[in-house]
Amino acid sequence: MGERIGIVGTGRMGANIARRLKDVGYAVACVYDVHEASARALADELQTTAATTLGDVTVNADTILTVVSDDAAMEAIFAESGDSLLDGCAGRLFVNCATVTPAVHVEVQRRCEARGALSLEACMASSIPQARDGTLYLMVGGHPAAFERAKPMLEKMSASLRYVGEAGTAAQVKALVNMVMNINTAGLAEGLGLGDALGLDLDMLREVFSQTGAASRVLVTDGEDMQRREHDTYFSAAHAAKDSGIALALARDAGLDLPLARATFEQYETMKRSNLGELDKSGIAELTFKSRRPA
């Protein structure tokens, strides 16, 4: 495929997106990460170039996907001065996959358009294996022209692709998805923790949950992991805290109090304070099983 792809952010999600795009025939022209060793390792694997500056990424790619950690990182890679993806970006398409606040996506679009580039948010409601397999659920926000240009590539990355509206809209939807997911995860951990304290058979309890109103997607993805204490990270507790915090900020702006979302956010913040933030979100069960609670 003629489109040259650049990847900014070579953590687990960014690296697996790069691998997927190469597998389906895209030319991954360069990769970049502030942790240079991570970028070099991925570049060696994909037989491509590890860019040493953001400006080099823009020079060498037509479409640049960004998968960074938070608002500050997003604003830094699109800085209006110094080394930035905005250097010489006219005609480029930026597809921004990080979960950041909606206002940041709106501001990034403004900065890109001022330089003659297109910007699109492609928020991912899936995890690491889906990034590798090209089966992400993607919620996309931005101008329709940017969406149409990115669509062939996004279809190779996803099993489901949903255009939801202008810049910022997809980030709002993603924040609500993760808020509800995190609440469900915390509720499941409390149910299993109480079941354990009562001496119930947790295999039996999970099966009963699955056939009743206690069923949920997180029961499938996290229930056994909570029981077995297997918290390999697919979506970290630290990220869960960040995303619940984004949703709570949206709620405050809308004049709403969301006590369940607030309590869940506080649980994930407790995990971070207890040095459990890099566990998978299923690790919230470490706070709810009586025998496991940190001192």
Q: Where are the domains of the chain?
A: 4-167, 172-287
Q: Does domain 172-287 have CATH number 1.10.1040.10?
A: yes
Q: Find, among 266, 141, 73, the residue nearest to 150 by Cα.
A: 141
How far apart CA 277 and CA 24 sit, in angstroms, is: 34
Following DSSP, what letter does each residue of 45-92 receive, concatenated? HHT-EE-SSHHHHHHH-SEEEE--SSHHHHHHHT-SSSS-TTTT-TT-
Bridge partners (DSSP) of residue 142 are 120
Q: Which two tokens stand for residue 182?
A: 């995190």
Q: The domain 4-167: what is its CATH number? A: 3.40.50.720
Do 100 and 75 contact (CB within 8 A), yes or no? no
pTM: 0.89
Do 179 and 244 contact (CB within 8 A), yes or no? yes
Q: In this structure, what DSSP letter does residue 212 have? A: S
- Residues of the chain under the 70 pLDDT cut: 1, 295
Q: Which two tokens stand for residue 11?
A: 């953590």
Q: Find, among 266, 99, 256, 247, the residue nearest to 186 by Cα.
A: 266
Following DSSP, what letter does each residue of 180-200 receive, concatenated? HHHHHHHHHHHHHHHHHHTT-
Q: Find, among 6, 98, 95, the residue nearest to 52 by Cα.
A: 6
Helix H or strand E segment including 7: strand 4-8
- Cα→Cα distances 175→75, 130, 171, 261, Å: 19, 19, 6, 11
pLDDT tens, 113-161? 999 999 999 999 888 899 999 999 999 999 999 999 999 999 999 999 9
Q: What is the pLDDT of residue 293?
A: 77
* Tokens 């949950």 sit on residue: 209
- Please classify residue 135 by burial: count the beta carbons closer than 10 Å to its beta carbon, then call 0-12 exposed, 13-18 middle and 19+ buried: middle
**R_g (Cα) of the chain, nearest Å:** 20
Which stretches of the chain are DSSP H helices?
12-23, 36-46, 54-60, 71-77, 102-114, 128-133, 144-157, 169-197, 202-210, 217-228, 237-253, 259-273
Q: What is the pLDDT of residue 125?
A: 86
Q: What is the pLDDT of residue 295?
A: 62
Answer whether 4-167 and 172-287 agree in fold: no
